Amino acid sequence: MDNKLKSVLLFFLTFGLGFSIYFTTMHELNGTIRDPASIHSKITQLKNFDHDQLKSEIVQNFQISYLDNGDKAIRFQNISSHVCKTYQKINLEFIADGITVSGEPTQFSVEADCLPAQDPAELASIIIPVSKFTSLKPQNAVIKFNNESTAYTFTNTGDEWPKVWILKNISFKNLNGQNTSVQLDTVGLNPEYLKVLEF
C-alpha cells in the first residue's frame, strides 16, 4: 500500500512540475512574440512594427495637451527618444475640418527636431504656438519663430484661420531619406478616434 501511495504521489508531483514548466515556457514565448505591440513598453525601434501595428500604437498614445497660454503640446507617450538616433525629424500633417480653397483642402504641417525630453527616455513634446498663429493674418507660408528649427507650413489658406485641424499623417524622417510614415484615417471614423488640434 505504501509503495502504491508513493507511486501516486510521485506521479502527481511529476505531472504538476511538468505542467508548471510548460505554461511558464509558453508564457515567456508569448511575451516575446507580443512585445513589439505591447502598449506598456516604450517603442525604441519603429522598424520592428508593420504599418498597422505602428498606427495602432500611435493612435492610442498620441496626446494633445492644452497649455496655459493657449498653445498646444503634442506628445508621443509610448515612443522612446531612442528613435531619434535613427530619425532626426518628425513631421505632422493636418487638414482643416471641412474647409477647402478652390477645391483643395486647407493644410497645416509641422516639421520639428526629434529630441529627448528632460527625462532622456521620453520623446520631447512638440509645441504648437497657436497664440502666435492667431495673431498673424492667415497666409500660405512657411513660418518659423525666434530662429527656432521647427517649421510650420500652411497651404490653401483662406481669409480666416480654421478652428479645427485633423491629424492625417505622421512621418519620422532621417537625413538619408529613410522615412517611416503613418497615414491616419480622417473620414468615416467615430469622432473620438480622430486626433484633433484646435486653434
The Cα 64–Cα 168 span in angstroms is: 14
CA R_g for the chain: 25
> For the chain, how far is it from start to end, CA to CA, in angstroms?
84
Cell reading at 90: 518628425
Closest CA to 169 of 177, 180, 181: 181
For residue range 118-152, what is the model confidence (pLDDT) as tens digits?
A: 988 889 999 999 999 999 999 999 999 988 899 99
pLDDT of residue 56: 85
pLDDT of residue 183: 87
**Cα 185 to chain centroid, rounded:** 14
Query: What's 125's DSSP letter?
Result: P
For residue range 58-75, what is the model confidence (pLDDT) as tens digits?
A: 788 899 999 999 899 999
Burial degree of 108 (CB within 10 A; 0-12, 13-18, 19+): buried
pLDDT of residue 155: 97
Q: Are 99 and 135 in contact (CB under 8 A)?
A: no
Output phi, psi for 38, to 5 deg: -70, 130
Tell me the pTM: 0.75
Mean pLDDT by 10 residues, the chain (199 residues): 57 54 44 40 81 84 90 91 93 94 95 93 93 93 91 96 94 88 72 82
pLDDT of residue 35: 40
Q: How is 80-119 classified by DSSP, letter by letter?
A: BGGGGGT--EEEEEEEEEEEEETTEEEEEEEEEE--B-SS
Sorted by sequence, the CB contacts under 8 Å of residue 169 that are 6+ apart come out as: 91, 92, 93, 181, 182, 183, 184
